[in-house]
A = this chain, B = another copy of it.
Amino acid sequence: MSSPGSAAATAILKEEVDIVIPTIRNLDFLDMWRPFFEGYHLIIVQDGDPSKVIKVPEGFDYELYNRNDINRVLGPKAHCISFKDSACRCFGFLLSKKKYIFTIDDDCFVAKDPSGKEINALEQHLKNLLSPSTPFFFNTLYDPYREGVDFVRGYPFSLREGVPTAASHGLWLNIPDYDAPTQLVKPLERNNRYVDAVMTIPKGTLFPMCGMNLAFNRELIGPAMYFGLMGDGQPIGRYDDMWAGWCVKVISDHLGLGVKTGLPYIWHSKASNPFVNLKKEYKGIYWQEELIPFFQSVSLPKECTTAQKCYIELSKQVKAKLGKVDEYFNKLADAMVTWIEAWDELNPSGPKSEALPNGSAK
């Protein structure tokens, strides 16, 4: 992308991007992001006690929702939004009317690249989302659309146009995103390696999607970005983003969309408590051994031409095949349907409906 084009694109995108932040505390971390988030709209989803007052630094354009708001907006459907878990962030995805979402945790700070320059994570995510993906064949020099790179010898010419990008998964310097067992075994491990690459995760390959530093095209894949039932009243936590990632990936593969990972980095400041995490994760750690083969074998019928249709079909397969792993998955499958009902209710004209490929009727 040429520089002038990028600048123009970024200016326009201020009207097309919502930044979604789940939190339980004052959002002082936003001060650091001010140069990059200024002019963008924030949707803050307050988790936990709704009577607590969350302070947002001055000068930001935001709306803030707590549990009372979720109950008020969704009524009987509110149960599909998790409580006391950052999975509640997906309420923000539901409410947004924008084309692109960037979601970030409140313990994520601005990282620096090896030259010492502060990284504009949002800008890099938008670059990732605005350029195509290449899920059908691996390019050994990574993102072929980046300046100074191209497709290498032997890359089929018929595949060089790529496909639309559904999601951009960014990484973390400092505290790596480890599970509780790895945190316990390697409490001091820090990620200091800046890998200067963005790549498409190939079709048919699953990955562990972390919700800490994530952007996506809401029109293309929003209905699949459901973070499941986690936290309060649920037997599991810390698998919200993983669940969303596996669903997003199989649906993107089916719809011919791309998912990228790599740049941008954020600075992850704080390791969560590994003992608490272990309690949240332990069922996930063994359920996962059945979930991965399930997602690897998911096949969606041709009639599923939108993310909504794919997601409803996926919920049926979850119930049919994972219900026997644990009763929880029956409840989750029902919540997946409720989520789509809520999505359709709040997004009546249907972003990315078949009749309106640009979703421009909203």
Contacts and interface: CB of A to CB of B under 8 A. Distances in A.
Interface residues of A, number: 58
A328 interface: no
A204 B204 contact: yes
Contacts of A154: 179, 208-210, 239, 241-242, 245, 288
9 contacts: A138-B201, A138-B261, A140-B177, A142-B195, A148-B191, A150-B182, A150-B186, A152-B178, A202-B204
Interface of A: 114, 137-142, 148-159, 169, 171, 176-179, 181-182, 186, 189-197, 201-210, 238-239, 241-242, 245, 261, 281, 285, 288-289, 292
**Copies of the polypeptide in the assembly:** 2
Contacts of A152: 176-179, 208, 210
- Decide if the interface of chain A is mainly helix, strand, loop or mixed: loop
A150 B208 contact: no
Contacts of A158: 289
A193 B196 contact: yes
Contacts of A245: 154
A158 B291 CA distance: 12
Contact of A179 (B137, B153, B178, B182): B153
